[in-house]
Amino acid sequence: MAVHEPQRSSPGSEEQEFEFHTGEIRASGEPDAIEFVDVHKSFGRNHVLRGLNMSLPENKISMILGPSGTGKSVCIKHIVGLLYPDSGDVIVHGESIPSLRDAELFETRKKFGVLFQDGALFGSMNLWDNVAFPLRQHTEKGEDEIGEIVNRRMREVGLGGEGAKMPNELSGGMRKRAGFARSLVLDPEIVLFDEPDSGLDPVRTALLCELIKEIHAENGGCYVVITHDIMSARRVAEHISVLWKGKIVESGPAEELFASENPFVRQFLSGESAGPLGME
């Protein structure tokens, strides 16, 4: 991946606002699986993504880190085509997602596994049927083969034997793990995690992070984790993109970002109160 030039700021207040946004993208040594090219997105008067340029490499666990409300979840929705940019492009494996027709988009989505914040399990189905759903929907596999895959994935996430439970009988952590199992059953090339640590206690967060690492080591592919939890980032991140005010502050291999001299990146990755990021 090429090292990009830092973004240029326009003069005046915008220059001050993006004072720490060098936009530096450090080489990761892997080709890009996902690219955001000058993406702008607004919701009413709220300009969430403000010229986002970001690359997420193949075969790495990438983390998009940033304070709350900076557009991290909006990024995931752009990647899978649930939202479209007002301008700019989102490219996945060389395909422009906003340019795809509906039928092509539904086909492309088969390469994604997504773990939503609360698991997004279907309330009308038990856990087993939830995990089996993508296989029944997209493959010609028989019930025996589906059962084998579902049982294996459920065992991997520690939910073996819980298949008969309904989503409303599960704790938040169990719902997330079930969502994780469902996102993996089609062996996706890209797995997206929307705040996998939200609502979990520190031990379960650590266990989920370990699980993400283990499964990535086994399956490979591009894993993208969205979070604002630095502990999770230290545990699993191989590549980090720091997002603030709808733009990348800095991006690159995790060890280089943790050693960054950028005051915002340093403050955010160390979790200090003193620095450019305030309560505003």
Partner 1 sequence: MVRSVAERAFPSIRHVLEEFGDMMILTGKTIWSALRPPYPYGGEFVSQFLFALRLVWFPLLVSTVAINYGAPGLQAGDFLTLFGALDRLGGFFVLAAIREIGPLITSIVVAGVAGTAITADLGARKVREELDALQVLGVDPVKNLVVPRFLALMVVTGLFDIYALLFGIFGGILAALSFGQPLGPFWGTLFANASVTDLWGSVLKTTIFGAIVAIVCCYKGMSASGGAEGVGRAVNEAVVISFLGIGAFNYVFTQTLLATHPNILVIK
State the pairing for strand pair 61-65/239-244. Answer: parallel
Measured from the CB of residue 112, what is the shortest distance to partner 1 in angstroms?
6
Measured from the CB of residue 194, what is the shortest distance to partner 1 in angstroms?
8
**CB atoms inside a 10 Å sphere around CB 139:** 14
Listing from the earlier edge strand, what are the strands of the sheet with 46-57?
46-57, 32-43, 87-92, 95-96
Whether the CB-CB separation of 171 and 208 falls below 8 Å is answered with no
- Which positions lie near partner 1, rule CB under 8 A? 77, 80, 82, 102, 106-107, 109-110, 112, 114, 116-118, 120-123, 133-134, 137-138
Residue 48, token pair as written in the block:
């969430």
Whether the CB-CB separation of 1 and 31 falls below 8 Å is answered with yes
Helix (H) or strand (E) holding 199: none
Q: Which is nearer to partner 1, 57 or 113 (CB)?
A: 113
Measured from the CB of residue 137, what is the shortest distance to partner 1 in angstroms?
6
Measured from the CB of residue 134, what is the shortest distance to partner 1 in angstroms?
5
Q: Which is nearer to partner 1, 81 or 163 (CB)?
A: 81
Q: How far apart are CA 180 and CA 92, in angstroms?
A: 21
Q: Which is nearer to partner 1, 70 or 117 (CB)?
A: 117
Q: Which is nearer to partner 1, 38 or 118 (CB)?
A: 118
